[in-house]
Structure 1
Amino acid sequence: MKMKGRFRKFLSYYKPYKKLFFTDMFCAMVAAAITLVFPMLTRYITGVILIESPIDLKIIYQLGLIMVVLVIIEFFCNFYVAYQGHVMGTYMERDIRNELFEHYQKLSFSFYDEQKTGQLMSRITNDIFSLTELYHHGPEDIVISLIKFVGAFVILSTINLQLTLIVFAFIPVMGGFALYYNKKMKKAFKRNKQRIGDINARIEDNLSGIRVVKSFANESKEMDKFQVENTNFVNSKRNSYLYMAKYHSGLGVFTSLITVAVIFFGALFISQELITTPDLIAFVLYIANLIEPVKKLINFTEQFQEGATGFERFMEILEIQPDIQDHKDAVELKDVQGHIEFHDVGFRYNEKNDYVFQHISLDVKPADYIALVGSSGVGKTTICSLLPRFYEVSEGAITIDGKDIREVKLASLRENIGIVQQDVYLFAGTIMDNIRYGKFGATDEEVIEAAKQANAHDFIMELPEGYDTDCGQRGVKLSGGQKQRLSIARVFLKNPPILIFDEATSALDNESEHIVQESLESLAKNRTTFVIAHRLSTIKNAKRICVLTEKGIEEEGTHEELLERQGQYAYLYNMQFKDQ
């Protein structure tokens, strides 16, 4: 049933281009049929016209004109197939790539936690590219091959059935040979694609961390790692080429044997007057016509293995259902006040893992400023990742204004939550574009106002091109504090009622931290805010501080209250400020 479903899915991409497809097939059939006519005309000229006395030149001229017309028709048909057919394949490749990219957007964090970026890139580039040739050449090669194959058999049978049967006796053996090596090649091609994905993953990992590589002077070590992946790819390719060599050379032997058989048995039949010389000439010409579709089928099987492997890898991803998606009766989250409750929440990444935490219960009133503190690994970031449903709760429930977040639409839930993270990601493009990412329809004036609110406007105006300054890959041209203020400007522009600050100032120097902290506090006014803090000095003014340990929420209270208790919070605070 799975294979049947995949086959239907494969065919579905032809549907938008049915007219183009059938026109392409018609032209392919006409071109194939024309090639069958020339040997028959040659036989007629050599076996009928040229043995008459006197020779009728008028008929030769007429036949010559007919052949020229057929050549012109064949040219236009082949041109259409080569151009429009490839264009159709490109359209289909675009549709498949769009669908896969859209599916990537739906998959949750848990999927990306287990995947290598290079492998995912390989699936959306190399794998899908191989499908273009299959979609275009697959049906076309089959149709042309069948027409030439069946047409040659029928015509040759009318010339001499015995010689035709001798020739076609080779075909089943060729078919068995091809089938055996097809299976071998399919496995080899799939392995090649995996190796290419590994190389992409290695390159992506290296280039993303190139500054770390250079800072440790580990270029040679990285080269060693890359050479391992590259050698694995070479070994995989060598294996696939071994099967291809056996496949091509074996089929080449079969096609040569067919020609030898025609010449040998044709000569015998002529000596016994079972066939005429014009018939043998026609036979030899048709053998060339017979070998061509066999070669096409050779090319097709190679394309098929490449394309089928690419489609299989494409479907492997497409068949992964997002573990977090809208329920059937999900509703829009509107007019959010920001009253958030955690009801005995527990979470683990999957059933094989232990719980990260359990029995988390919190009641956060609208516009509350809540800080989450604790040692690394106790689940502070994970708790906040559950709120926008980057991960799904394993136990309990989270509600916003009394609505279970699993019963509201994901898009509307995330539209109402703004996140400022420690690791700021800026996209390649201008500062204006990166701030506008918070609200794509925003005017330039709205973007500038958001930048002012985030204390970013002044430094932006000092840049050479102001808001049109290019940020560089991942914002490499800007400092940490500047990038952080741009990320805050994004959230100002988005204007959500709920905020999450995930250690937003922990990587900054004191001066930058002070500026960014002002921006964060300005952003947090009248919004329900969760702050994950490493530097406890940044959350002294929090309305409530929750201290997380492996047991869950161990302490709650204001900064002063928790210091008086001399518990876990006091211990963490004194550790940070013991020198003072």
Structure 2
Amino acid sequence: MSRGVIPLRRPSVFKRIFFLARPYWLLLLFSLLLSLVASLFSGSVAWLVKPVLDHIFLEKNYRYLDILPLIVIGIFSLRGLSAFFQAYLMRLAALRFVNDLRYRLYQKILRLPLKEVSAETSGRLVSRVINDTTALEPVLGDMFRTLMLEGLTVITLVAVALYRRFDLALLALTVFPAVAIGARKLGTKARKARKLGQQEIAEVTHQVTESLQGLREVKVYLQEDFLVGRFRQKLEGYLRYLLRVTKYREGARLLVDLMTGLGGALVFTYGGHLVIRGAITPGDFFSVLTAILMIFSPLRRISRAYTGLYDASAALERVEEVLAYPEEKGGPKKASAPQEGLVFDHVYFRYREGEDFVLQDVNLKIPAGQVVALVGPSGAGKSTLVSLIPRFYDPSRGKILLDGTDLREFELGSLRALIGIVSQDIVLFNATVYENIAFGNPKASREEVIAAARLAYAHEFIEQLPQGYDTVLGHKGFNLSGGQRQRLAIARAILKNPPILILDEATSHLDAVSEQKVQKALERLMRGRTTIVIAHRLST
């Protein structure tokens, strides 16, 4: 696919995710407030160390020991409740975020020009909708939650430590820059490894999709072992990238553990000398020590979340890439049924820049209400030519006119509403027979759907299906014969009742009996319509 325009200096991953998460700001705000409450209760634990040690034990005010357990239980209970509701709200925001993002991606893909979609494989597009968005789910649900909750906890504990003894706390905090710099570098490496891993899993998804679509060919050419071997190689490649991500994540955790030991050692050494000299009380010393040691546990989680956030940014880039693609565009005019007809005026077309032209200087007039046949061998460009009429593609040069107006000046919806297509490659959806026919006109009544099926000579075999019109066809309708699938496609076109009809090798793969039935249905469908028939031979 062609790339969307992406600036050289992109906003940080935090800003980009918050931009996408704007619809959930209220949930995020309540989560932030609950994080603040939970962090205050965490800080109160370190704060209580001094009064407990100095006033209860050293000054022997043992009467307070009766209420101390209740205070501790209250602090941890309230902190736990705050953290619980904060996690629930963040999880709710994360699930909605991912669902809405998948909806936007699916909507975007359906509105992309066919030229762009054709340049990408279905497996890779599925990977972006499913795998990449799944990789983003922990961002709000876990990583942002950790950064909010543990970040505020660190700030609270630092404030307690600085208040108790400024120089002692400052000494311990000298290890913080090493943690921040190390986490950033490891996060960048994790992001690069994750991006390569996402590309690898997209290839895995593509191979599974491709193998299922071509399963008959795989079996008849005995290629199971070859494909299994190639699939194994792709999985091993994905595994290697995941191990790299794990190495960088756990490296960040190891860095925090090392700095925790160093920070604690500094507090013990310097703080112990201050207590011996009488510069601070044991309560001050242990209050600062408790705060510092409590800091490093959330700091470890923050470092891990920060690395994971950069890891997830690789998936975010792939999602943003799809969202940045330009959508199909039409003009301001409403298209109506042809009165004069269609005209191809010096039309040239090629699929990509630099390739040879598939169509060269095509001049053709298709009168309204008439049948025009395009006959020629495979690869002559017949299907390409008719795909320009509904603007699946636009001419590279020249123009196509409907009643004297360039097709690009019409609204896409109004133009395509005029066109019905019956091709050799019938697409039936994993839905009921009724829903597949009604795809041509979702507003049609059941009686109209059945009438269209009768006109297409499909009603008789539909009635013989297990649930009649309510029978689920399965993937691509493979439980029907070629002639039956073709007649359902004709019924769908009849129901749409388009003034312009395109028949692209509609009977090329049918046996003689099925072809006769389909030909009768097509004759009914073609009456009074501007029809373009594509065939390999005149007899068709």
Question: TM-score, length-normalised on structure 2?
Answer: 0.94
Distance 2:194 2:486 in 1: 45
Unaligned runs of 5+ in 2: 1-6
| Higher RCO (C-alpha under 8 Å, 6+ residues apart) | 2
Distance 1:396 1:124 in 2: 36
| Higher Rg | 1
Q: Among residues 47, 55, 64, which one is paired with 1:40 in the alignment?
A: 47
Structure 1, residues 512-550: CA drift from partner, whole Å, max 9, x if none?
Answer: 111111111210110000011024212xxxxxxxxxxxx
Q: Which residue in the other structure is 2:483 paired with? A: 481
Structure 1, residues 259-308: CA drift from partner, whole Å, max 9, x if none?
Answer: 33333333333333333322232223212321122122123113312331
Q: Among residues 233, 238, 246, which one is paired with 1:241 in the alignment?
A: 246
Q: Among residues 278, 281, 290, which one is paired with 1:285 in the alignment?
A: 290
Shift of 1:231: 1.9
Shift of 1:433: 1.2
Residue pair 1:6, 1:315 contacting (<8 A) in 2 also: no
Shift of 1:62: 4.8
Q: Among residues 489, 492, 495, which one is paired with 1:493 in the alignment?
A: 495
Q: Which residue in the other structure is 2:412 paired with? A: 410
Q: What secondary structure is seen at the aligned counterpart in 2 of 1:169?
A: helix
My pick for the range that moved more, 148-157 or 509-518, is: 148-157
Q: Which residue in the other structure is 1:443 paired with? A: 445
Amino acid of the residue matched to residue 158 of structure 1? Y
My pick for the range that moved more, 275-284 or 361-370, is: 275-284
Q: Among residues 460, 465, 468, which one is paired with 2:467 in the alignment?
A: 465
Q: Which residue in the other structure is 1:105 paired with? A: 110
Q: Which residue in the other structure is 1:87 paired with? A: 92
Q: Among residues 377, 380, 383, which one is paired with 2:379 in the alignment?
A: 377
Q: Residue 338 and residue 298 in structure 1: after superposition, are their counterparts in 2 closer, same or farther (change >3 A)?
A: farther
Q: Which residue in the other structure is 1:258 paired with? A: 263
Within 5 Å, which residues of 2 pair with 1:260-339? Answer: 260-322=265-327, 324-327=328-331, 330-337=332-339, 339=341
Q: What secondary structure is seen at the aligned counterpart in 1 of 2:59?
A: coil
Shift of 1:133: 2.1
Distance 2:317 2:67 in 1: 53
Q: What secondary structure is seen at the aligned counterpart in 2 of 1:425?
A: coil
My pick for the range that moved more, 281-290 or 6-15, is: 6-15
How many residue pairs are counted as aligned between the two chains? 533
Shift of 1:66: 4.2
Distance 1:11 1:284 in 2: 36
Q: Residue 264 and residue 175 in structure 1: after superposition, are their counterparts in 2 closer, same or farther (change >3 A)?
A: same
Residue pair 2:422, 2:502 contacting (<8 A) in 1 also: yes
Distance 2:239 2:151 in 1: 36
Within 5 Å, which residues of 2 pair with 1:541-580? Answer: none
Distance 2:90 2:513 in 1: 62
Amino acid of the residue matched to residue 288 of structure 1? L
Mapped pair 1:11 → 2:18: yes
My pick for the range that moved more, 388-397 or 353-362, is: 353-362
Q: Residue 500 and residue 338 in structure 1: after superposition, are their counterparts in 2 closer, same or farther (change >3 A)?
A: farther
Percent identical among aligned pairs is: 32
Q: Which residue in the other structure is 1:119 paired with? A: 124
Shift of 1:17: 2.4
* CA-atom RMSD in angstroms: 2.0
Shift of 1:477: 0.4
Unaligned runs of 5+ in 1: 539-580
Structure 1, residues 204-258: CA drift from partner, whole Å, max 9, x if none?
Answer: 1111111221222221111122112112212222333333343332332222322
Q: What secondary structure is seen at the aligned counterpart in 1 of 2:513?
A: helix
Residue pair 2:127, 2:202 contacting (<8 A) in 1 also: yes
Distance 1:65 1:237 in 2: 46
Structure 1, residues 433-458: CA drift from partner, whole Å, max 9, x if none?
Answer: 11111111221111111111111111
Distance 1:317 1:87 in 2: 25
Shift of 1:6: 8.2
Question: TM-score, length-normalised on structure 1?
Answer: 0.87
Q: What secondary structure is seen at the aligned counterpart in 2 of 1:506?
A: coil
Mapped pair 1:189 → 2:194: yes
Q: Residue 529 and residue 6 in structure 1: after superposition, are their counterparts in 2 closer, same or farther (change >3 A)?
A: farther
Residue pair 2:424, 2:508 contacting (<8 A) in 1 also: yes
